[in-house]
Chains A and B, each alone.
Chain A
């Protein structure tokens, strides 16, 4: 009799738990039809973890480099772990997280996020952190990222944060309750439209151009973790014209790279070499590159990576097959975007 009662309690608890779990899944944003960038971090875990190069950083990596070009023209197997306004401590913990699955030969980090020394905005935090699988790295990333208004428990039980979304649920919330949605091509967010860069403003005068202590601390940790794992760290500044990249910031990064024996590439200084044309190679007036621009920059970067000894893996049957499928999806989306543009005209 007693064991029957215990069983009933256990079954009831399981039912409540399952209901709450389903409800939580339903209420969490799916990032399908808008703000698709929120899906990117989670996409990584569905990959074959065998990348030779991993990019880590903000929108300046996921919108400006094409892993497909690196593969097709150099046989470099790469992935971009990028997310919107990814802060440097998030990048660091994403590196820790990545190392749980694979050890790339090269990690490329975009240095724009050095400008932030403290937590910024919850919405961006969530787009990076919620997609991470639970691990010590994720816990530390959350703790390092939370603004004063945020609670750790809201990340553990997102239903506490999203309970009010019930009134704005859409069909896609049900459709993608469990089904994954692919928005990127190995982390690359494709855009084929064109909006020339015009009237890009100079940066406003700053009271202090020094990057913050916290930012430097995480850059140091990033560098150390790469060295400990025998990974070559390459620092880059992507060729985005805005937000403005100050000469004072450039000097600090050059000094840091030299002091730590790191390769640093500022693509803003390589416009001629990459062949970038900001009247045709950007879709938002110079903030991010479009497909044409991303492919140009990737061709240049591929050469650099080749010189740094990243292997050409074309010819590996299994990898060839994976990339064949990826390339087909890439070409399909490219065609669809061009058709959509044509239809708009």
Chain B
């Protein structure tokens, strides 16, 4: 092998290794690092209700609300919004529970207020809203649907669901879901779920 060929072969090997190292790195989750790269598993978020949800956009992680939102005492909660300002505005919860995920760092947090529950997931050193679950008919969606309402009222207010089964009607919007759980003809639970929580 000539000197030139050897140099070329060495360069080729180097380029291959550099390509492997560089690759698609920045967009990947860093598995194995201390950073939590996902919402913890096993979390079962809460519920909530005395408010309402709107469909306008205001309030995600970047300050813009997306999808269906829930409003309680003038505090508008959208999925994936930063939790700290919302929790501060909502005041003292009736109860608070936090759950560490198996293995990963960070805590999923559940704040229970009168009629609804606000759940969060951690990303970096901040928490974001993963779900709002309405618990009873003391709270309503901004469109006026409450637990106990009929399926026909649900459809008259929200229209045709994105997907449906005998016990579930799901309305998707901007990557989040507004889910109505049904028993017979009645709504028994209302959940706002972030796309991240659904992954």
Contact = CB atoms under 8 A, between A and B. Distances in A.
Interface of A: 8, 12, 16, 19-20, 23, 28-31, 33-35, 37-38, 58-59, 84-85, 120-124, 126-127, 159-168, 198-201, 203-208, 242-244, 284-285, 287
A120 B101 CA distance: 14
Contacts of B47: 204-205
A163 B32 contact: no
28 contacts: A16-B13, A28-B32, A29-B31, A34-B105, A37-B103, A59-B102, A84-B104, A123-B104, A124-B41, A161-B28, A162-B32, A163-B20, A163-B25, A164-B22, A164-B30, A167-B25, A201-B44, A203-B44, A204-B45, A204-B191, A206-B181, A207-B168, A207-B179, A208-B168, A242-B99, A243-B42, A285-B98, A287-B99
Contacts of A168: 30, 33
B50 interface: no
Interface of B: 1, 9, 13, 17, 20-26, 28-34, 37-38, 41-47, 95-105, 110, 112, 117, 133, 165, 167-168, 179, 181-182, 188-189, 191, 199
Contacts of B105: 34-35
A38 B103 CA distance: 8
A85 B180 CA distance: 28
B28 A34 contact: no
B17 A122 contact: no
A74 to B, nearest CB: 28
Given A85-B42, A163-B23, A201-B44, A31 B32 contact: yes
Contacts of A203: 44
Contact of B21 (A35, A164, A285): A164
A85 B41 contact: yes
Given A8-B1, A205-B189, 4 more contacts: A201-B95, A203-B44, A207-B179, A208-B168
Contacts of B99: 242-243, 284-285, 287
B33 A201 contact: no
B117 A201 contact: yes
Contacts of B100: 284, 287
Contact of B34 (A34, A122, A126, A243): A34
A163 B103 CA distance: 22
